[in-house]
Amino acid sequence: MTASLSIRDLTVYYKTPLGLVQVLDGLTADFEQGETVAVVGESGSGKSTMGFAITRLLPPTGVVEGSILFEGQDLVSMPQKKLRDVRGTGIFMVMQDPFSSLNPVKKVGLQLLEAVQIRMERRGEHFDYGSASKEVLKRLYDVKLPDPAIIMTKYPYQLSGGQIQRVVIAMGLLLEPKIIIADEPTSALDVSIQAQVIALLKELQQQYGMTLIFITHDLAVANVVSDKVLILYAGRLMEFGDKRGIIQKPMHPYTQGLLKSFPSGSYREKELYSLPGMPPSFFSLPVGCKFSDRCPYAFDRCFKEEPGILDVEGRAVRCFLYGGARKNRVA
Amino acid sequence: MVELVRTESLRRYFAAEKLGLLEKLAGRKQRYIKAVDDVNVVLNKNETTALVGESGSGKTTLGRMLATLDTPTSGKIFYSGVELNEDALESVRHKVQIVFQNPYESLDPRMSIRQIIEEALTRYGGDDRAGRVKEVLEAVGLNYSDIHYRKARDLSGGQRQRVAVARAMAANPEFIVLDEPTSALDASVQSQVLNLLVQLKKQYGYTYLFITHNMMVARYISDRIYIMYAGKVVEAGLSEEVFTDPFHPYTKLLMESVPSLEPTARLEAMKGEAPSLLNPPPGCRFSPRCPYAFDRCFKEEPRLHLVGQRLVACHLFEDRER
């Protein structure tokens, strides 16, 4: 497998009235062609910032350092004009709020035709309205929307959240991107609709061999959707590796805590495990390991020095408990 | 088991559109959204009853009516056997409190935490209000001296939700409606709040109505569960039983569509979408999405009947009625 996206030392700052705030710190990760990676983190972990940094859609206050290699080109140093050719047909993003991702005053069909036109123009092909509409209909059928011909004549506000998210996915398919970044695509949807959208994304990803980066706060969703899981905490990669390994045998104390605090059973049997404290604010991060103030295993060194990324059994882990830093290892 | 709250054919309809004079003269009929349609629930004292359903199922509307924040279109609510009407409202109201979903919106950002809780005491508080504020804040695990002077905007989501719970506790209620109290919270904070709610119930003997769309949370927190679909109760029973052996096809499918942490977890997606409440499908409201639906389901609405200890509204279970 080849890496379709290589992130090296990605660091993102936001300019604020209180000075620069660092929200991503030295993120390094490779995403292989055709695999699904779930990026899991709580609010303020930098997971959405990562998605926006890859598509270079950060607000003007965002400052990006490091490199993001896509098809041999560095997206970080790429001029805006060239970036427009990467967005859509190279990397496509599905946003959390389906209603804000379509133009409210244009009919759905027109917006989808526009996607076909953009793809064809970029490839130097001739755009033909008739065959393009047929293609749009076919894709709307692929995403299991009932009556595609009627859907095409509707405005976004006339559709439900689940339907719009499908229209956006259909648009992604029409653009034939190499990578789809989905930022909490199901958080605004009901469970039954969430299951439909996840099943659809998985099915299409396998069919077309796209790389899917699925940003979510829910480990259970990550479990059913992904091949690999990347855990973010306070803008740092804490653990990254094979899904099965991470869910069954988590190494980082934060991942362990998240998994243990997942509700299961009944209150009559046991109290739920809960991590002490709360996710830190970027304005007052702990010195040393950013998780040290909540970590049940933290020792002296954790409070003074930030651990680097270690390779433990093929998994990336940022923790002093691994790699022989301490003799009596926990877990 | 002592019954605390009971409803009898509770209905809440919302006008779907406002008709003008001309439209009324032209004889156009007012259409209604039937958010809650003929619902009977019984909540037992010192039990947690979970109310589960997707958006638009009517769970929040039902919760608001039980919290006396909304008036039913028809039907009755009994509170400790007393019918809730205008005369009884005053005496019932202080025993009922509600905690809202989003603690970022339910607390006044300009008031201090002490003021927020004291406000709840203006009508029902005793003499020692300051003492009571301190007491409830400590009960929810917050340090009074650190927090009483701060504004809601300075607090994190978990802390805010604790303040909201403290405010609900202040007037010494018996019954607390919890409307998705953990949905807006992070995973690592959610379990803290759930544990707190369990502990407070034990300590003060509260009765909870816990509204949620999260099946795992419902299973954990509740003794009894009601599953709602499109304004109707489709299944009700003891949580453990409903979760280990769901009867209604909707309950079954709902559970299969919840992602889990099992290594073999797969999602079974339910087809279709929740129906319009303006024009619910004839017969069973779930029939268009139900894999087991037969002729009768499309014509005749199933009523809720008792199967063992369970209530279920499905034609498939009618012959099992006991």
End residue of a domain, out of A264, A279, A309: A264
A80 plus A104 within the same structural domain: no
Q: Are residues A78 and A188 in the same domain?
A: yes
Given a contact cutoff of 8 angstroms between Cβ atoms, the answer to whether A172 and A111 are in contact is no
Sequence-distant (≥ 6) Cβ neighbours of residue B306 within 8 angstroms: B321, B322
Distance from CA of B194 to the nearest CA of A (A): 8
Q: Which of A42, A193, A223 sits opposite B186 (nearest CB)?
A: A42
Q: Given CB atoms, is B238 within the 8 Å cutoff of chain A?
A: no
For position B264, what pLDDT does the model report? 78
HSE toward the beta carbon, residue B205, CA cutoff 13 A: 7
Partner-chain contact A195 B187, CB within 8 Å? no
Cβ–Cβ contact B274 with A under 8 A: yes
* pLDDT value at residue B125: 65
> What is residue A86's three-state secondary structure?
helix
Please tell me the distance from the alpha carbon of residue A14 to that of residue B34, in angstroms, as a whole number. 47
pLDDT tops 90 at residue B186: no
pLDDT at A160: 83
Q: Decide if A221 and B259 are in contact by the 8 Å CB cutoff.
A: yes
Distance from the B76 Cα atom to the nearest Cα atom in chain A, whole angstroms: 30
Residues of B in contact with A248 (CB under 8 A): 263
Same domain, A146 and A31: no
Question: What pLDDT is recorded for position B171?
Answer: 86
- B264–chain A Cβ distance below 8 A for any pair: no
Instruction: Please tell me whether residues A164 and A62 are part of one structural domain.
Output: no
User: In chain A, which residue's Cα lies nearest the Cα of B268?
Assistant: A195
Chain centre distance of CA B219? 14
Q: Which two tokens stand for residue B298?
A: 């499309």
Listed by number, the residues of chain A in 269-298 with a beta carbon closer than 8 Å to a beta carbon of chain B are: 271-275, 278-279, 294
Task: For residues B168 and B181, give the distance between their C-alpha atoms in angstroms, rounded to a whole number.
Answer: 12
Distant-in-sequence, close-in-space partners of B205: CB < 8 Å, separation ≥ 6: B45, B46, B174
Q: Is B156 on the interface with A (CB under 8 A)?
A: yes
Q: Is residue A172 part of a domain?
A: yes
Which residues does chain B have within 8 Å of residue A294's beta carbon, measured at their own beta carbons?
Answer: 188
Q: Is A329's Cβ below 8 Å from some Cβ in B? A: no
Between CA B193 and CA A33 the distance in angstroms is 41
**What is the residue type of B87?**
D
Q: Does B220 touch chain A (CB under 8 A)?
A: yes
- Tens of pLDDT, residue by residue, chain A (331 residues): 578 899 999 999 999 888 889 999 999 999 999 999 999 998 889 999 999 999 999 999 999 999 999 988 999 999 999 998 899 899 999 988 877 889 999 999 999 999 999 999 999 999 999 999 999 999 998 888 878 889 999 999 988 888 898 899 999 989 989 999 999 888 878 888 888 889 888 888 888 899 999 999 999 999 999 999 999 999 999 999 999 999 999 999 999 999 999 888 899 888 999 888 888 888 888 999 999 999 999 999 999 999 999 999 889 999 999 976 444 444 4
| Rounded-to-integer distance, Cα A138 and Cα A132, Å | 10
CA distance B36 to chain A (A): 19
Cβ-Cβ contacts under 8 Å for A24 (sequence gap 6 or more)? A10, A11, A12, A46, A49, A50, A53, A235
- Smallest Cβ–Cβ distance between B263 and the set A191, A248, A273 belongs to A248
**Is the CB of B70 inside 8 Å of chain A's CB atoms?**
no
How many angstroms separate the CA atoms of A39 and A218, rounded? 10
Task: Flag whether residue B240 sits within 8 Å of chain A, measured between CB atoms.
Answer: yes
Domain coordinates in residue numbering, chain B: 3-95+173-244
Cα gap B36→A210, rounded to integer Å: 44
pTM: 0.88
Same domain membership, residue A206 and residue A61: yes
Searching chain A, which residue's CA lies closest to the CA of residue B265?
A: A224
Chain A touched by B159 (CB under 8 Å): yes
Partner-chain contact B219 A265, CB within 8 Å = yes
Assigned domain for A315 exists: no
Q: Which of A212, A239, A264 is the last residue of a domain?
A: A264
Measured CA to CA, the distance from residue A88 to residue B257 in angstroms comes to 30
Residue in this structure with the two tokens 């909304």, named with its chain if needed: B70
Please report residues of B whose CB lies closer than 8 A to that of A160.
273
* Residue B322 banded pLDDT, cuts 50, 70, 90: low
Residues of chain A in contact with residue B239, where contact means CB-CB under 8 angstroms, are: 266
The answer to whether residue B187 neighbours chain A at the CB level (below 8 Å) is: yes
Q: Is the pLDDT of residue B170 over 80?
A: yes
Q: CA-to-CA distance for B187 and B105, rounded, in angstroms?
A: 20
For residue B101, pLDDT beyond 60: yes
**Is the domain of A104 the same as that of A243?**
no
- How far apart (Å, rounded) are the C-alpha atoms in residues B317 and A171? 44
| C-alpha separations of A282 from A18, A240, A290, A305 in Å | 11, 22, 10, 18
Structural domain count of chain A:
2
Residues B100-116, mean pLDDT to the nearest whole number:
90
Are residues A171 and A31 part of one domain? no
Give the pLDDT confidence score for residue A50 in this predicted structure. Answer: 95
First CA to last CA distance, chain A: 32
For residue B321, the model assigns a pLDDT of: 62
Contact A191 B253 (CB under 8 A): no
* Class of the CATH domain delimited by B3-95+173-244: alpha beta
Torsion angle defined by CA atoms of residues B156, B158, B159 and B165, in that order, rounded to the nearest 10 degrees? 140
Backbone angles phi, psi at A39, to 5 degrees: -100, 115
Cα A2 from chain centroid (whole Å) = 19
The verdict on A79 and A182 lying in the same domain is yes
In chain A, residues 208-237 whose CB comes closer than 8 Å to chain B: 217-221, 223-225
Q: Which residues of A touch B180 (CB under 8 A)?
A: none
Are A156 and A105 contained in the same domain? yes
Min Cα–Cα distance to chain A from B10, Å: 25
Residue A59, judged by CB atoms within 10 A of its CB (0-12, 13-18, 19+), counts as exposed
| Interface contact A267-B220, CB threshold 8 A | yes
Task: State which amino acid sits at residue A141.
Answer: Y
Q: How far apart are CA B147 and CA B155, in angstroms?
A: 9
Q: Are residues A151 and A79 in the same domain?
A: no
The phi and psi torsions of B307 (rounded to 5 degrees) equal -125, 105
Beta strands across the sheet bearing B224-229: B96-99, B175-179, B207-212, B48-52, B224-229, B232-238, B310-312, B305-307
Residues of chain B contacting residue A98, judged by C-beta atoms under 8 Å apart: none
Do B259 and A221 form a contact (C-beta atoms < 8 A)? yes
**CATH number, domain containing residue A119:** 3.40.50.300
The amino acid sitting at B70 is: D
Which residues of A are less than 8 Å from B220 in CB distance?
Answer: 263-267, 272
The SS3 assignment for A61 reads: coil
DSSP state of A226: -
Residue A297 lies in a domain: no
How many angstroms separate the CA atoms of A57 and A49, rounded?
9
Q: Which residues contact A216 (CB under 8 A, 6 or more apart)?
A: A38, A39, A40, A184, A186, A187, A222, A225
Pairwise CB contact (< 8 Å): B191 & A244: no
Q: Which of A176, A198, A221 is the last residue of a domain?
A: A176
> CB–CB of A247 and B267 under 8 A?
no
Q: Are residues A195 and A161 in the same domain?
A: no
User: What proportion of chain A, given as a percentage, has pLDDT over 90?
Assistant: 64
Domain region containing A256: 1-85+178-264
Burial class of residue B152 in the structure, from the number of CB atoms within 10 Å of its CB (0-12 exposed, 13-18 middle, 19+ buried):
buried
Closest-CA residue of chain A to B254: A192
The reply to whether B273 touches chain A by the CB within 8 Å rule is yes
**B244 in contact with A at a CB cutoff of 8 Å?**
no
Residue A298 in domain: no
B259 to A223: CB separation less than 8 angstroms, yes or no: yes
User: What is the reported pLDDT for A324?
Assistant: 61
B279 vs B98: CA distance, rounded Å: 31
Distance from CA of B139 to the nearest CA of A (A): 17
Nearest-Cα distance to chain A for B127, in Å, is 34
With an 8 Å Cβ cutoff, is B260 touching chain A? yes
The answer, for A73 touching chain B at a CB cutoff of 8 Å, is no
A74 and A188 both lie in a single domain: yes
Residue A3 has φ and ψ, to the nearest 5°, of -75, 125
Over residues B113-141, the mean pLDDT reads 87
Give the side-chain half-sphere CA count within 13 A for B114. 12
Instruction: Convert the pLDDT of each residue in A243-262 to its tens digit.
Output: 999 999 999 999 999 999 98
Residues of A in contact with B54 (CB under 8 A): 190-192
pLDDT of residue A215: 95
- pLDDT at B31 (0 to 100): 86
Q: Does A248 touch chain B (CB under 8 A)?
A: yes
Cβ pair B273:A223 closer than 8 A: no
How far does the CA of residue A278 sit from the closest CA of chain B (Å)? 7
- Partner-chain contact B195 A274, CB within 8 Å: yes
